[in-house]
Amino acid sequence: MIDRRDYPLIAALAGGVLVMLVLSLAWGDSAVSLPSALRDLMAGRHSVGAIIVGQLRLPRAILGVSIGAALGLCGAVMQGYLRNPLADPGLLGVSGGAALGAVLVFYTGLAGVSALLLPAGGLMGALLAVLLLLGLVGQGGTLVLLLAGAALSSFAAALTAMAMNLMPSPYAAYEVMRWVMGSLTDRTLTDVSISLPGTVAGCLLMLTTARALDALALGDEVAESMGFRLRGLSGVQTRVVVGAAVAIGSCVAVSGAIGFVGLVVPHLLRPLTGHQPSRLLLPSALGGALLLLVADAAVRLLSGATEIQIGVLTALIGAPVFFRRVIAMRRSQA
Amino acid sequence: MTGLVARGLTLSLDGRTVLHEACVAVAPGEVVGVIGPNGAGKSTLLRVLSGIQPADAGEVMLEGRALAGMTPGDRARRLSFLPQEGEPPPPMRIEDLVALGRLPHRAARDGARDRAAVECALAETGLLDLRDRPASQLSGGERARLRLARALAVEAPYLLADEPVAALDPAHALAVMASFARLARAGMGVAVVLHDLTLAGRFCHRLVLMRDGRVVAQGRPAEILTDGAMRAVYGVTVRRVGDAVVPWSLTDGRADDERTGS
């Protein structure tokens, strides 16, 4: 899965993630000495620095890395599995399900009861969506998967819009809208503990498909003849769908829907990894983490009285990449 | 028992019987041509022989072991399958794509052996000079050679190729068939679906003639490519150039015109 030729790229991306991680912990509205805050944190001393770094900046940084990595990896896996460079994690309808679950928590007013209920609603929504998806797809192939995902996404989006439409107070509707746009602000270590296990488990499951994704580049029949089971309980399709759903559901449940990372990052890195699906996985995870940390830093830098949502920013970064791609494609076809 | 031996293969798909009690054998060192009209069940037979399509009845034995009882990896190391051309290849380097043929051997982690297999496959298909080119830049003929190289890199003792020369010009088609002949001399068992009766007659040791999911005849090319069989199965009359058979006109006369003068 890790090719010697990709070492420089992986090292550069990992270095970038590390730098942004340190920056994310060290930089903020309050001037805090990072080394002393970390020392206090390790020693269990409740200094102001330890609280700011440990309870505000650390969760945000961890979520930036884990959610960005999950989105990047998931995009690479989906694009490899579907052999479509436009595939992204949102395609399965799982993000939509998670968003709907969380919005229903807002709608019913449960969000005010406990902070835990919001991510729990998101997780439930994602879980329900993936069960529906697996039931709909059955032994069907990639086209059935895409259609089922599209149907689920639009249905979840319609229900989400309806919930917002019927929301009792405009303030609640505004809250929901902000949540749906995605954010890492004010997340706590509890959010991390809700999101991280599923994210890691989903990513590990997706990574087991690396060799199969390479074989699939040669077509379904060749992959099967080379010993890879595509359908069925332990088949590649189930591992891709369940892995992506668990990871993305766990992410959306705490951060809201963050678009474009899963689409753009694999797209940008593919030419640098020889267009080989397995070689794209780790760089895409690192690239996703880097992009989200950079976007989060930009959020903090650019936000004035009203915070710019990180999902808006990733889309603002992502869309021009596509404009460039469209122009390049048009030139190559001219 | 040596070889790849199938007995009584029967398969229905969507309520239609696509294979009916088909029996076929491929021994090491021979090229077996599978011929017959479109829809005769040739590709389905190959898919069942490769193990990716289970049959409703009958069995496939590979060197005395039931194919159905083998692990997918075990099967993949013994049978290499080259399906009809589907989607165009991804723009990966040619050498990297051919190296994917080593995926069934990944557990062995023998880098030197993998490299040697890829080198051999590139040499056999004449792709050594193109190894660094992206596959997306290849012509149709080069793509066919690339697909064959990937199948050869598996180093399986049996190769099942479905219409590998369908889209090729005469030179490329002859080169691919000559490859099969060379591989058979080296001990490989090759089953190849062909529409070109001239190539089938020239390069195959034995032919399997199919129609409507049944194997209607098998034997040496001279025994199979008879005027009677060609008329009965394909509905064509043939002319002979040396040992080669050339389809000449339809038995109902529709292909006749003044230019051919028949």
The per-residue DSSP string of B12-67 comes to EETTEEEEEEEEEEE-TT-EEEEE-STTSSHHHHHHHHHTSS--SEEEEEETTEEG
Are residues B125 and B253 part of one domain?
no
Are residues B236 and B123 part of one domain?
no
Model ipTM value: 0.91
CB contacts, 8 Å: B83 with chain A = 219, 221-222, 225
B65-66/B16-26 β-pairing: unpaired
B31-35/B189-193 β-pairing: parallel
Are residues B122 and B89 part of one domain?
yes
Count structural domains, chain B.
Answer: 2
What would the mean pLDDT of B239-254 be, rounded to a whole number?
82
Are residues B108 and B230 part of one domain?
no
| Contact partners, residue A165, CB within 8 Å, separation at least 6 | none
What would the mean pLDDT of A133-154 be, rounded to a whole number?
90
CB B13 within 8 A of CB B173: no
Residue B66, phi then psi, degrees to nearest 5: -70, 130
Tell me how far apart the alpha carbons of residues B34 and B215 are, in angstroms, rounded to a whole number: 9
Are residues B156 and B33 part of one domain?
yes
Domain assignment of residue B27, given as a range: 4-225
pLDDT in tens, B166-205: 888 999 899 999 999 999 999 999 999 999 999 999 999 9
Tell me how far apart the alpha carbons of residues B115 and A136 are, in angstroms, rounded to a whole number: 43
Are residues B245 and B208 part of one domain?
no
pLDDT in tens, B57-116: 999 999 999 999 999 999 999 999 999 987 888 899 999 999 999 999 987 777 899 999
| Contact partners, residue A148, CB within 8 Å, separation at least 6 | A93, A133, A136, A137, A140
Are residues B247 and B237 part of one domain?
yes
Tell me how far apart the alpha carbons of residues B158 and A60 are, in angstroms, rounded to a whole number: 56
Which residues on chain B place their C-beta less than 8 Å from a C-beta of chain A?
47, 50-52, 71-76, 79-81, 83, 86-87, 89-93, 96-97, 100, 103-104, 106, 134, 150, 154
CB contacts, 8 Å: A4 with chain B = none
Are residues B81 and B207 part of one domain?
yes
| Predicted local confidence at residue B254, as pLDDT | 67
Q: Is the pLDDT of residue A268 over 70?
A: yes
Are B100 and A214 a contacting pair at CB < 8 A?
yes
Are A215 and B103 a contacting pair at CB < 8 A?
yes
Confidence of residue B244 (pLDDT cuts 50, 70, 90): confident
Confidence of residue A45 (pLDDT cuts 50, 70, 90): confident
Average pLDDT, chain B: 91
Report which DSSP code applies to B93. Answer: B
Are residues B108 and B23 part of one domain?
yes
What would the mean pLDDT of B14-36 be, rounded to a whole number?
95
Are A219 and B80 a contacting pair at CB < 8 A?
no
Are residues B238 and B180 part of one domain?
no
Residue among A79, A224, A226 with most chain B CBs within 10 A, to mutate: A226
pLDDT in tens, A53-107: 888 899 999 999 999 999 999 999 999 999 888 888 888 888 899 889 988 888 8
Using the structure block, give the residue that is written with the tokens 């940008």: A268
Structural domains of chain A, ranges and CATH numbers in brackets: 4-319 (1.10.3470.10)
**Beta bridge partners of residue B208, listed in sequence order:** B34, B218
Alpha-carbon dihedral sign for residues B37, B41, B45, B46 = positive
| Predicted local confidence at residue A205, as pLDDT | 97
User: Please, is B64 exposed, middle or buried when counting C-beta atoms within 10 Å of its C-beta (0-12, 13-18, 19+)?
Assistant: exposed
Are A227 and B89 a contacting pair at CB < 8 A?
no
Q: Is the pLDDT of residue B42 over 90?
A: yes
Are residues B121 and B243 part of one domain?
no
Q: How far is CA B45 from CA A134, B6, B191, in A?
A: 31, 10, 10
The sheet that has B4-13: what strands, in order across it? B16-26, B4-13, B57-62, B65-66
Q: Residue B17 is part of a domain; what is its CATH number?
A: 3.40.50.300
Q: Is the pLDDT of residue A19 over 50?
A: yes
pLDDT in tens, A159-218: 988 988 888 788 878 878 877 788 888 888 989 998 999 999 999 999 999 999 999 999
Using the structure block, give the residue that is written with the tokens 């069934």: B104
| Predicted local confidence at residue B259, as pLDDT | 60
What would the mean pLDDT of B162-169 be, rounded to a whole number?
90
Closest A-chain CA to B87: A219
* Closest partner CB to A214 (pick from B71, B103, B134): B103
Are A227 and B96 a contacting pair at CB < 8 A?
no
Are residues B231 and B221 part of one domain?
no
Q: Is the pLDDT of residue A322 over 80?
A: no
What would the mean pLDDT of A258-284 be, rounded to a whole number?
93
Are B75 and A227 a contacting pair at CB < 8 A?
yes
Q: Could you tell me which of B216, B200, B163 has the C-alpha nearest to residue B47?
A: B163
Indicate the SS3 state at residue A52. helix
* Closest partner CB to A225 (pick from B52, B71, B91): B52
Nearest CA to CA, how far is B91 from chain A (Å)? 6
| Predicted local confidence at residue B262, as pLDDT | 46
CB contacts, 8 Å: B74 with chain A = 227
Buried residues in A134-171 as b, exposed as e (16+ CB within 10 A): bebbeeeebeebbebbeebbebbbebbeebbeebeeee
